[in-house]
Amino acid sequence: MEFRMPSYYNQFKCIADKCPDTCCAGWAIVIDDKTIETYKDMTGEAGEYVRDKVDFEEGIYKRHGERCAFLNDCNLCDLIINQGEDKLCKTCTRYPRHFEEYGNLVEAALSMSCPVAAGLIIDNPDRDRFKCRVDETKNKGEKVDKKLLDVLLRVRKLIFAITADRTKSIDQRMKEILLLTEKVQPRIFDYEKLGAKRRLSAFSKGIFQKLDEILDKCQHDLSQRALSQDDGKNGKSKLSKKKKNNYIVLRQSEDRSQEDNNMGYQLMKEYIDMFLGLENINEDWPKTMGEIISLLYHRHIPEEYKSLKSEFVSAMKTREYEYEHILNYFIYTYFLGGIYDYNILGMVKLAVVSTLIIREMGMAKWLQNEKELRVEHQLKCAYSYSRQVEHSEDNQLAFEGILTAHPKFETENIISTLEL
């Protein structure tokens, strides 16, 4: 098996009551079957104490308001204090660690919904790195399509190469990965339509040839770009006529019409609006979204918003890597899920839109705080968003659904918000 994890993965350590938030409130904590049986078998006062705080019918810990019944006023776990850490369920023991299995590939990650994990993910100027370990064991779990997995891994590797290019703004990088995935997605759907038997035959050969051509060209363009950057450092210029023309096209794109700017502004507002309809994991969520809409949109016409965004982006220029890490987090966590539903474009849209929403949250906080966004504010925006979207199955399914089906989230519309 191959095990992969982010380079910061093993640095995580829970800080318990020193945490600025708690993972024991705001959602139902699901208890695994083995731990449920352990609780049922406990005897004496200890057994009665534990069982009194467990909802066996639902398989969760009872809650007092939004807080786990075991969470005391000091934000410490009474189950650990009174019975020991070995009595915790798997959810509590593992969080914020989680694992995804793709055949013989297992990927470990930390959830950004934990404030400490969010700090490890975001607050680091270094580029993201991933560590791999291979051993001789075989995964006995669900088998996956190895050919498709290899393609998705190659696409994701190219995406990470694009997001790592800090000579471009994070908006330009997000645009590039959207356009790349837009080209790849039809071939993936063609492969899905073949059906299981035909995928194993020569019918899939032409599809993979087309995919290879797309990915080879992307890889070539990235290599040429790297060479051009190296030549620039040496005082040379080998910018081809074609590249000059592309540059001119980019400049023309930047000179957007007022109508285009208004559309991007309106779409961004509507994206925020949509989040008001999600299930509330955090009781402050509607207020947070309402403040963003008021601060950024109700009080500013499109031209003012564009100027404000430009000022915020400039102020965050030396910390733009924070959005790069947020983007990579969502790509790493969700992209390979396309092995099951074939919808990799939906996963890239999820990553891009999530990064945009978290940035809007940060921009609103920046305005509230006299145009200063401290790291702790950025982290709170990130882990609050993660809890709201990633820790509610209903919210996640609803979000993925509208990203795939709603016309407002077509690729060209998302790009219009990036070009504001």
Tens-digit pLDDT profile for residues 158-210: 999 999 999 999 999 999 999 999 999 999 999 999 988 788 777 788 898 99
In tens digits, the chain (420 residues) has pLDDT values of: 899 999 999 999 999 999 999 999 888 899 999 999 999 999 999 999 999 999 999 999 999 988 999 999 999 999 999 999 999 999 999 999 999 999 999 999 999 999 999 999 999 999 999 999 998 887 776 789 999 999 999 999 999 999 999 999 999 999 999 999 999 999 999 999 998 878 877 778 889 899 999 999 999 888 888 777 766 555 543 433 333 333 333 334 444 556 667 888 999 999 998 887 777 877 788 888 999 999 999 999 999 999 999 999 999 999 999 999 999 999 999 999 999 999 999 999 999 999 999 999 999 999 999 999 999 999 999 999 999 999 888 888 888 889 989 999 999 999 999 988
How would you write 221-256 as a 3-class SS string?
A: HHHHHHHHHHHHHCCCCCCCHHHHHHHHHHHHHHCC
Can you give the pLDDT at residue 385? 94
Tokens of 123: 């607050």
Tokens of 97: 């660690």
Q: Which residues 6+ apart lie within 8 Å of 96 measured at CB?
A: 12, 23, 110, 111, 113, 114, 116, 117
Residue type, 108: A
Cα–Cα distance list, 244 to 165, 229, 233, 248, 251 (Å)? 19, 14, 18, 6, 10
| Token output for 217 | 């060209």
pLDDT of residue 232: 56
Provide the pLDDT for residue 165. 96
| CA end-to-end span of the chain | 45
Crossing angle of helices 344-368 and 321-334, in 10° steps, is 150
Asked if residue 104 lies in contact with residue 138, where contact means CB atoms within 8 angstroms, the answer is yes
Can you give the pTM of this predicted structure? 0.90
